[in-house]
Amino acid sequence: MTGVMHLICGSTGAGKTTYARRVAEEVGAVRFSIDEWMSALFWMDAPDPFTPDWAMARVERCAGLIWRTAVEICGRGVPCVLEIGLTRADTRAHYSALAREAGFEVRLHLVDAPVDVRWARVEARNAAPDADQLPFALTREMFDFVETLWERPTAGELAAHNGVAVDTGRADG
């Protein structure tokens, strides 16, 4: 039996976690969120001052373990939803290729919303943090920096990865 690997991408505040939860519920999938794993395993030990190199080393380790676990689950015919920071086209292509090499169907989900809506969501999350999210406020400077890293999938990329684009542009998400 072949599983389906759902790859979730979108920029900060787009509604990826909410959407990933909904997809997992609809298709009976196991969901993996890099923010939840980082919050449970590492953020409480973050250095002060915070350093991106410290975080990225741990994000990469979490993503590797998430991937290995998802492959085992998906190999048993259970779909998986991966929300693991797929901000770049090369990273999405890498995970898609790995999934296909393992014999899985791939479905790329682009979760999108206008920048002003996304920033408003970040501000709301900063005001009322969720235990499964980042344990620190995301500043506008950090938000803007992540915007420079985000590579929105092209129509060709979505087509190549059985993709779907979802607009979560309502202010209430």
pLDDT for position 61: 92
Residue 34 CA, chain-centre distance (Å), reads: 7
pLDDT in tens, 111-161: 999 999 999 999 988 888 665 566 667 788 888 888 998 999 999 999 999
Burial category of 168 from C-beta neighbours within 10 Å (exposed 0-12, middle 13-18, buried 19 and up): buried
- 54 vs 141, residue with greater confidence: 141
| Residue 79 tokens, joined | 């779909």
Residue 171 has pLDDT above 60, yes or no: no
Fold designation for 4-167: Rossmann fold (3.40.50)
Neighbours of 5 (CB within 10 A): 25
Confidence band for 173, pLDDT divided at 50, 70 and 90: very low
67-92 average pLDDT score: 96
Residue 172 has pLDDT above 60, yes or no: no
pLDDT for position 138: 79
Asked if 127 and 73 count as a contact pair (C-beta separation under 8 A), the reply is: no
The DSSP string of the chain is: ---EEEEEE--TTS-HHHHHHHHHHHHT-EEEEHHHHHHHHTGGG--SS--HHHHHHHHHHHHHHHHHHHHHHHTTT--EEEES---SHHHHHHHHHHHHHTT-EEEEEEEE--HHHHHHHHHHHHHS--TTS-SS---HHHHHHHHHH--PPPHHHHHHTT-EEEE--STT-
pLDDT for position 135: 62
pLDDT in tens, 1-40: 579 999 999 999 999 999 999 999 999 999 999 988 888 8
pLDDT for position 71: 97
pLDDT for position 78: 97
> CB within 8 A of 26, min separation 6: which ones?
none
- 108 vs 126, residue with greater confidence: 108
Residue in 130, 111, 128, 84 with CA at minimum distance from that of residue 170: 111
Q: What is the pTM of this model?
A: 0.89
Which segment of 49-53, 88-92, 96-100, 153-157 scores lowest on mean pLDDT? Answer: 49-53
